[in-house]
Structure 1
């Protein structure tokens, strides 16, 4: 197992700058942000431009990460593959395909994305749509030796009422994903606030997890007693502000990291555990983000066998 981080937390830095910092701070891998340029959209970045990505770009990227003692664990493009607007949906699907092609040129084993959801359709209707949408993407990935991994983020901010906007949030849905040839990019933080034990949920599925993310979560039960599980309803100006939990870097929340890492090892996981930094306390400035990555490193490094 190696320790890495998702580069989207440093959107204003180049991949070269991030790789140098990561190597100097004892990280071993990068989950490289590969969104198209979306402007100021939070938690996204374009550290690899997959449009027109060719063998020369791949050679340069490999040389860059090799120089800093790193590997590229996955290309990251987490967006709504079931977007309700047909044009937007097609653009998202097409960009996933471009990420797959770029990953193959790099020798990168994974591409990470979301299933997503059309909020105006039932879960059953969405799942039927997804079976059609993902079939050619799974085939494309398989032909190129790449695994398409789906993060189990709930994406509640994509639904007008705060319900799951990414249909990958539970083991029931993981099993459905696996039947399509998709894999899981396991993140325990989402399970905790959903009321699912992240260690017990993990154990049966380690063989379908080629990549994992490390994000923590802090719960505020007194606020949950006020809002209920879906979160703020009457006044919710920010669709992501549920009011009773928030993400933290590993070690500052309630995830049992000893249990998670132990279950990964016991199940034979030998991939990358990638820190996904979305901590509002250790965010807002680049200095704070880097400190957050250092806190995560201090939490996780002792648990990972050198």
Structure 2
């Protein structure tokens, strides 16, 4: 049975404990924690912040579905354009790449502390001057170190593919997990990313059976080859009945997490309406 969770990345105008409490008010069983500013940006996430988070989780009874470590925007004082995933684990700069590996380890530490099953991670884009073949070497090297750290802590790592990143579709993420060949590495499957890449979302789910560490949900206008803008389910063209049926068919029994960071002005409305739309399927 799939449970619904909601990501705190919609609540970036609220503290992390307040975001947890608000999400609980809308009926969700789980919460995904944003591993970035303004919530858990790990160089600044101290013991006091950790204890405040644990208190909120204990008060609400929410489980943590995932630690979202896709971005680390707090790294930059003055971020360059399209820096969402930088510094990435495929950065040619050794120091920047090592910083991101250590950052991901801190996300794994938080996952262990709050009993989250997984951390999700995006590969980033190959930057000018870094050919894809070289970027893949950095990717394998980085993942090896990250997985060595995650496995003793019983935390999985899910690669989240996205158009225009080094790993941007189902074929590529499954090829990567095969190449690495470690059970702790899987797929954080964002159904909207599959749709905007032009994939059949149900087929992507079925092909990923046994490898899914977590699921991100949002609606997309246009479906296949639609515009990449996260919308509240029911406001786009995705068939959520088919999506949940496919998750059931493959025996997925983890969390499906709403990722609606596009609603920072009205996160409570987004959380409420998304739950109202999707609770019929779980």
The equivalent of 1:233 in structure 2 is none
Displacement of 1:261: 1.0
Residue pairs, 1:66-105, within 5 angstroms = 66-78=58-70, 79=85, 80-105=88-113
Q: What secondary structure is seen at the aligned counterpart in 2 of 1:186?
A: strand
Q: Structure 2: which 5+ residue stretches go unaligned? A: 71-84
Q: Contact (CA 8 Å) 1:219, 1:246: kept in 2 or not? A: no
CA deviation vs aligned residue, 1:133-189 (integer Å, no higher than 9, x gap): 1101011101111001111222xxxxxxxxx12414232332323432321111111
Return the alpha-carbon distance in structure 2 between the equivalents of residues 24 and 62 of structure 1.
17
Q: 1:146 to 1:244 in 2, by over 3 A?
A: closer
Q: TM-score w.r.t. structure 2 length? A: 0.83
RMSD over aligned CA atoms reads 2.5
Q: What secondary structure is seen at the aligned counterpart in 2 of 1:31?
A: strand
Q: What secondary structure is seen at the aligned counterpart in 1 of 2:215?
A: strand
Return the alpha-carbon distance in structure 1 between the equivalents of residues 218 and 65 of structure 2.
16
Q: Does 1:257 align with 2:249?
A: no
Return the alpha-carbon distance in structure 2 between the equivalents of residues 137 and 68 of structure 1.
31
Displacement of 1:292: 1.8
Q: TM-score w.r.t. structure 1 length? A: 0.77
The equivalent of 1:15 in structure 2 is 16
Q: What secondary structure is seen at the aligned counterpart in 2 of 1:118?
A: coil
The equivalent of 2:276 in structure 1 is 298
The equivalent of 1:123 in structure 2 is 132
Q: Which stretch of the first structure deviates more once superposed, 118-127 or 183-192? A: 118-127
Q: Contact (CA 8 Å) 2:89, 2:138: kept in 1 or not? A: no
Structure 1 stretches (4+) deviating beyond 6 angstroms? 52-57
The equivalent of 2:176 in structure 1 is 176
Aligned residues: 261
Q: What secondary structure is seen at the aligned counterpart in 2 of 1:167?
A: coil
The equivalent of 1:111 in structure 2 is 119
Displacement of 1:111: 1.0
Query: Which protein is bigger by CA-based radius of gyration?
Result: 1
The equivalent of 2:81 in structure 1 is none
The equivalent of 1:216 in structure 2 is 219
Q: 1:245 to 1:57 in 2, by over 3 A?
A: closer
Q: Contact (CA 8 Å) 2:105, 2:146: kept in 1 or not? A: yes
Q: Structure 1: which 5+ residue stretches go unaligned? A: 36-44, 155-163, 222-228, 230-242
The equivalent of 2:31 in structure 1 is 30
Residue pairs, 1:280-299, within 5 angstroms = 283=263, 285=265, 288-299=266-277
Residue pairs, 1:126-137, within 5 angstroms = 126-137=135-146
Q: Does 1:207 align with 2:190?
A: no
Q: What secondary structure is seen at the aligned counterpart in 1 of 2:151?
A: helix
Return the alpha-carbon distance in structure 2 between the equivalents of residues 16 and 83 of structure 1.
33
Which of the pair has the greater relative contact order for Cα pairs under 8 Å at 6+ separation?
Answer: 2
Return the alpha-carbon distance in structure 1 between the equivalents of residues 25 and 271 of structure 2.
13
Residue pairs, 1:191-206, within 5 angstroms = 191-206=194-209
The equivalent of 2:79 in structure 1 is none
